[in-house]
Copies of this chain bind each other. A is one copy, B any other.
Amino acid sequence: MAVLVNGRAGAPVDPLDRGLQYGDGLFETIALLDGRPRFLDWHFERLADGARRLRFPEADFATLRAELASAASGESRAVLKLVLTRGLGPRGYGPPATAEPTRIVASFPWPATRTEGLRVGWCRTPLGRNPVLAGLKHLNRLEQVLARSEWDDGSLDEGLMQDELGNVVSATQANLLARIGGAWVTPELSACGVAGVMRRAFLGWSAARGEPVVERALTRAEVEGATALVLTNAVAGAVPVRALAGRALAEEPAVAAFNASIGQP
């Protein structure tokens, strides 16, 4: 496992970095397959969007690209994680006039390949609604941490989260697609959630084959009545849900076809 901080292996992070003090930063989790970061342009697009919305200086993508290559060096298959924080600043929430972002790039082993669908339940931890942060993959992830800590007995593989109004938004670390009335539906993300790169890939793929995915608010009852559920994640690709709160679900053939199209191991 390699970790680079501003390009230096083994370098530390300043304890006063705003990424740590306030969660003032962004991240991307990228699949490295056959030695190449999958969907890298889309990860960089989301990062650039986040940098703009958080008013960071424009990210130095040439340097990030080189550091990702360095962290991945010698690996064929790995999980790359990239964190970009606003760096140091004076005490207080106000960002410094001229920020010098901190770059953290790490390479992790590829996880064990899953051979069957996911057992999914409902999380009690709600998601706060905030359009200013919606869609971004930012470092404020306590809601996901608390939701994921609701079970530790191996009874579930993932949990679905709802916002305060009861809209279903996503799983703790994946986007959700539901097969409802013979069509794909996915929660719209204008108030919360992360606009996942694999979600984007699935939406593009499905639209290209003449089955556009509908993005809209989705109730818990609708999800409970879906004929199939799929979770998407940059590393895992599209993964079918085999049971929601104990109710068995069918697997849509589209899932395997999509995974084949993206070279999912």
A interface list, Cβ under 8 A from B: 3, 5, 11-25, 27, 54-55, 79, 81, 83, 85-86, 91-95, 97, 104, 106, 108, 125-133, 138-149, 152, 164, 172-173, 192
Q: Which of B21, B81, B145, B149 contacts A83 (CB 8 A)?
A: B21
* A30 to B142 alpha-carbon distance, docked (Å): 23
The answer to whether B22 and A141 touch across the interface, beta carbons within 8 angstroms, is: yes
How often does this chain occur in the complex, in copies? 2
> Would B139 and A23 count as touching, CB distance under 8 A?
yes
Contact among B81, B138, B146 with A91 in the assembled complex (CB-CB below 8 Å)? B81
- Given contacts A20-B19, A55-B149, A152-B97, A129 and B164 within 8 Å (CB-CB): yes
In the complex the two chains form, is A22's CB within 8 Å of B142's CB? yes
Contact between A23 and B140, CB atoms less than 8 A apart = yes
- Would you give the shortest CB distance from A169 to chain B, in whole angstroms? 12
Q: Taking CB as reference atom, which chain B residue is nearest A55?
A: B149
